[in-house]
Chain A
Amino acid sequence: MEMLPFILATVFTAATPLLIAALGEHVTERAGVLNLGVEGMMIVGAATGFAAAVLTDSSVFGILAGALAGMALSAVFALMVLVFATNQVATGLALTIMGLGLAGLIGQGFVGQPRAAIPPVKIPLLSEIPVLGKAIFTGDFVFFLSLALIAFVAWGLNRTRFGLLLRAVGESHGSAHALGLPVKRIRLVAILFGGLLAGLAGAYLSLIYTRFWSPGMSAGRGWIALALVVFAGGHVWRLVLGAYLFGGITVAQLHAQAGAIGLPSQFLSALPYLMTIAALLFLSISGRKGAGAAGSLGQPFVPER
């Protein structure tokens, strides 16, 4: 029982970057844009965040810089798909390839440098509750920020006028355009928001989760975040559930490796990727696709005059 709050806390730490990146991509995809560059934006956020934190000796500033770096990369994507109407799948892939290289260049001088932990935030009174107090109400500030982001995205998409417009644009850009909605402008906001969150998720990885920078450290998390968005099928709560489930699998797999249960470690390391496929399969078999993808997802938008 003494281990439980500790284990729960590590589950939340492992899940938070997935959750943040997936929330961002969820908004982007609701607006009808498929950005496969999450992995690239995430790792650039991780490298930039770490480098900025070391240079300014402020982890908070590093996290901010990481988020902005992710957004900067998403601006390139926005320019391509909104102005040039390029193929979104190929452009997203290009963003990921470019991001992996760029992150390597940025992080070059920072490999192996350690970084101190950010002091945890304790919610007064609530953090005194046994088990849950230590697991949920004591954490880094980005963890609490991610909780606020869940609420913000759910509220913003479902309860605000802008959210309604954003979903309308995603569902049918042709109709939205005919109604006089600024399709490209709304999509620009959604893409930049997705980039900001992917960068934030990356900075969380290098500054809070591992607390060092190593090349390729995002290790497919951006792709898992993309799968989580599919898994969510348009519902934010399912996205949150999926992210914490994946955090749980990641931590369980690490414990199993440490506990040497006889399986080769590579098989356990492959679990998150196999589980991603299994989750998509389960979704399809159970027929719980939810609202599904936005109607105009991934299609280039070239308005007629």
Chain B
Amino acid sequence: MSFNLALVPRREVSLLRQVLTPVLALVVALLIGGLIVWMMGRSPAKAFDVFLREPLTDPWALQEVLLKSTPLMLISIGLIFCFRANRWNIGAEGQFLLGGMFGGGVAIATHGLSGPWILPLMMLAGALGGMLYAAIPAALRNRFGISEILTSLMLVYVAELLLDYLVRGPWRDPKGFNFPQSVPFTDAAQLQPLFEGGRLHAGFVLALLAVLVAILVFRRSLFGFAVKASGEAPRAANFAGFNEKRITLVVFLISGGLAGLAGMIEVSGQVGQLRPGFGQGLGFTAIIVAFLGRLSPVGAMLSSFVIAVLLIGAESAQVSLKLPFDLTRFFMGLLLIAVLAGESLNRYRLEFRKETA
């Protein structure tokens, strides 16, 4: 490999370029994905149809897309706070699971009771669970200088094992034929459809609300400015009097709380009980969503829809085209790489040079 390629910083980045970059990255990733589908002996045209057109044209599937985008939106909005501040919470999956377990725990404890207070209590518990779990890597970083990357990730595995223990042990449904799952939640503990005969529930509205709040925080509040400053110029932020450790803790609590809330919503609105694997890797997918959305709240909202379309498409592609879910996972990684390369080309121009740099 020769290195006579050099990066030259761009003076200005036009708005058009900023908007087009993620779109272009998506197109490039889709083309490579199509090539792989073709190499696997399937028709790329058919795959695009199943992955992109069907989820957007079928009204039932469209509702599923919005449902799938709900946790992605909530988690990625939280992650934006971390990533903007240059703090690397990569354990959102674990915080999501903890939120589900805390919320689900309330549902199990109040099983048989009814009342409008159960759902709000579950939401609070879910957010609290995620916050507590996210506080661990934040505290370890603040107090002991331990990299939050590894600790937050390690805790994902611990959360998966904790869930496994609960649904096989103390929280197992006695009437569940020994399946590793909790009792099915009663109606009082399940988010109800917003309209008759539909499936979309209030969780989606909450996710949109989170987007709105995040927009306001980043545009209007001092805290939003402190987060950005801390990420882009940590020394300057320090001189400006922003407390570095407090920012670490708060961005982790925000992202943990939103991931926990998302976990509760998933358990209550989609699954209806606790069972292993309800995480589905959404906490990791949300990282890709955040980057595809260029770490902006509106971007995260839009890319939540895009990724949700692909995930719903992937579910039907497994059945209709026998395309394994691993293909989608591979594609997600590829997409993140394309987005990162696009970001770089946004900031720099590639220049060919005669001599090596």
Contact = CB atoms under 8 A, between A and B. Distances in A.
Interface of A: 36, 40, 76, 79-80, 82-87, 89-91, 93-105, 108, 182, 184-185, 188, 215, 219-220, 223, 226-227, 230, 264, 266-267, 269-270, 273-274, 276-277, 280-281, 284-285, 302-303, 305
B336 A94 contact: yes
A264 B325 CA distance: 31
A277 B158 CA distance: 11
Given A80-B341, A230-B150, A303-B357, A101 B333 contact: yes
A87 B154 contact: no
Interface in B304-337: 324-334, 336-337
A223 B153 contact: yes
Given A104-B324, A270-B157, A97 B336 contact: yes
Contact of A101 (B153, B326, B348): B326
Contact of A102 (B88, B158, B330, B357): B330
A101 B344 contact: no
B115 interface: no
6 contacts: A84-B7, A94-B288, A102-B333, A105-B40, A108-B324, A280-B147
Interface residues of B, number: 53
A266 B326 contact: no
Given A85-B348, A101-B332, A270-B158, A76 B337 contact: yes
B64 interface: no
A90 B7 contact: no
Given A90-B291, A273-B157, A266 B340 contact: no
6 tightest CB-CB pairs across the interface, nearest first? A98-B333, A104-B326, A101-B330, A101-B329, A97-B333, A94-B336
A105 B324 contact: yes
Contact of B340 (A80, A100, A223): A80
Given A86-B341, A264-B165, A281-B140, A98 B154 contact: no
B169 interface: yes
A302 B324 contact: no
Given A86-B344, A273-B157, A94 B151 contact: no
Contacts of A94: 288, 333-334, 336-337, 340
Contact of A89 (B40, B88, B154): B88
B340 A91 contact: yes
A134 B357 CA distance: 53
B80 to A, nearest CB: 13
Contacts of A281: 140, 144, 146
B343 interface: yes
Interface of A is mostly: helix
B101 to A, nearest CB: 13
Interface string B76-106: 0000000000001010000000000000000
A87 B341 CA distance: 10
Nearest to B157: A273
A48 to B, nearest CB: 14
B161 interface: yes
Residue of A105, A226, A274, A305 with highest tally of chain B CB at under 10 A: A105
Interface in B340-357: 340-341, 343-345, 348, 356-357
B149 interface: yes
A280 B164 CA distance: 26
Contacts of B332: 97-98, 101
Given A82-B3, A267-B161, 20 more contacts: A40-B333, A80-B337, A84-B344, A89-B88, A93-B287, A97-B288, A99-B333, A100-B329, A101-B332, A184-B357, A185-B3, A220-B153, A220-B154, A270-B157, A276-B154, A280-B146, A281-B144, A281-B146, A284-B145, A284-B146
A223 B343 CA distance: 26
A220 B157 contact: yes
B338 to A, nearest CB: 9
Residue of A83, A85, A184, A230 with highest tally of chain B CB at under 10 A: A83
Contact of B344 (A85, A280, A305): A85
Contacts of B337: 76, 80, 91, 94-95, 98
Contacts of A285: 144
A60 B340 CA distance: 37
Contacts of A184: 3, 357
B340 A273 contact: no
Contacts of B345: 84
Contacts of A220: 153-154, 157
B154 A277 contact: yes
Contacts of A36: 149
A188 B5 CA distance: 14
Nearest to A264: B165
A105 B326 contact: yes
